[in-house]
Structure 1
Amino acid sequence: MTVEERIEAADRRKLEGNDYFKEKKFEEAMQQYEMAVAYMGDDFMFQLFGKYRDMALAVKNPCHLNMAACLIKQKRFDEAIAQCSIVLSEDEINVKALFRRGKARAELGQTESAREDFLKAKKHAPEDKEILRELRSLAEHDKAIYQKQKEMYKGLFGPRPQPKPKARNFILLFWQWLVSLIRNLAKIFTRKND
């Protein structure tokens, strides 16, 4: 097979996979995408450069992304992350790969990693409503966890101690008053004697 024939065969498999995906036949779609990627094996990709490499990646990367979409639908999030990471190793600013990896990470509870992916995707597609919705969802999730933790730890250490007012030492106050009185009397007597 020539390079063009291999790329065309992979593209046909990708299109068949897309048809299965639309019918919600995710396993069948996965098989087609995997066969398409098999046409673009590492040995084959290693030999390509220039326009042929770009043509091959234009088929291969969407197959990985479509596999990730199938895996997310099947709740196989770790595998979806791996598929997106393959694409990101070739194209680190691929918005779809960042978004899908972020979505899979969020489903696994990896909120910080998910947020990083969504923020990188937002940087390159600031108007994308899906990305903004996922970021809001993460913020609400964080807020809910904070409230839950706040309730959980409430009263754990008891109420905060209130500062006690200092007891007035009446002896000290009396002594200060007495010293002040004696000074004033002394001033008065010294003025009279002058």
Structure 2
Amino acid sequence: MDSADVQGATAAEPSSSGHTTTYTRSVCSLLEEAAQMKTEGNSFYKEKNIRSAIGRYHRALLVLRGLDSNVMSSVKGFGPEMPALTPEQEALLRNTQVDCYNNLAVCLLQRTNVDYVRVREYSLRVLQWRPGDAKALYRAGVATLEMGDAQTAKQYLIKACREQPNDANVRKYLQRAEAKLNQELQKEKAMYRGMFSSSLKSSSREGIDQTNETGEGV
């Protein structure tokens, strides 16, 4: 029996082993489809077709959603039990997800009206799987800074700077975060000075009024 006949016989076998073979093929085809979608998204991005690139990355993630054990565990029992992914398949799934979320974040940053909430969300998803991902740390820092939280942004950017100490953009945004924190500190000090000054003036007036009242009594 030649190799083609062997493959045909294997595919035709009923029972659970046949189901497993079919499922394995399905997993492989879905992983390949998602990887192809990601590649198409990269091509659109290079052509500066940001909208189409975003669409491809979203489609790739949608394909992978049904294979993600973290997602499917929440609906366990509502469908047929599927064999676990092999370590190689799991690695390919995560790598494709990480690339798509990273690429989505950079695409959104290219838009005129940037959705910083989404940029931060996508970057944090990457960091769940790769805590030291310099690109995700940088973009999480940029988005968080633009959303007004300079303290948290600084923490992300410090970590990004450790991963990429020579990156000029990381250093620039780290300096912006530190400058904003310093500005906020100066405003806070000025506010407390104003409150302290008002308190002193109020105490001084009360002292004068009490003196006047004592004089009138005499």
With normalisation by structure 2, the TM-score equals: 0.63
Equivalent residue pairs, number? 160
CA contact (8 A) 1:11 1:36 kept: yes
Q: 2:182 aligns with which of 139, 143, 164?
A: 143
Are residues 155 and 37 of structure 1, via their aligned partners in 2, closer, same or farther at CA, if it must alter by over 3 Å? Answer: closer
Q: How far is 1:150 from its partner?
A: 5.6
Q: 1:113 aligns with which of 152, 157, 169?
A: 152
Taking every aligned residue pair, what percent have the same amino acid on both sides?
A: 26
- 1:148 & 1:22 partners in 2: Cα distance? 44
Aligned letter for 2:143?
A
- 2:45 & 2:146 partners in 1: Cα distance? 21
Q: Say whether residues 1:50 and 2:87 are aligned partners.
A: yes
- 1:36 & 1:81 partners in 2: Cα distance? 20
State the Cα deviation string for residues 107-132 of structure 1 (Å, max 9, x = none): 11111111111122223333333222
Secondary structure in structure 2 of the residue aligned to 1:40: helix
CA contact (8 A) 1:72 1:104 kept: no
Alignment of 1:30-45 (within 5 A): 30-41=54-65, 43-45=66-68
Q: 1:69 aligns with which of 106, 112, 124?
A: 106
The match for 1:3 is: 27
- 1:110 & 1:131 partners in 2: Cα distance? 17
Aligned letter for 1:45?
D
The match for 1:21 is: 45
Moved more, 105-114 or 8-17: 8-17
Q: How far is 1:8 from its partner?
A: 2.2
CA contact (8 A) 2:154 2:178 kept: no
With normalisation by structure 1, the TM-score equals: 0.70
Q: How far is 1:145 from its partner?
A: 3.8
State the Cα deviation string for residues 84-115 of structure 1 (Å, max 9, x = none): 12111222222211111111111111111111
The match for 1:188 is: none
CA contact (8 A) 1:17 1:31 kept: yes
Secondary structure in structure 1 of the residue aligned to 2:31: helix
- 1:22 & 1:48 partners in 2: Cα distance? 32
Q: Which has the larger radius of gyration?
A: 1
Q: How far is 1:34 from its partner?
A: 0.5
Moved more, 140-149 or 80-89: 140-149
Q: Where do 5+ consecutive residues of structure 1 fail to align?
A: 162-194
- 1:146 & 1:115 partners in 2: Cα distance? 15
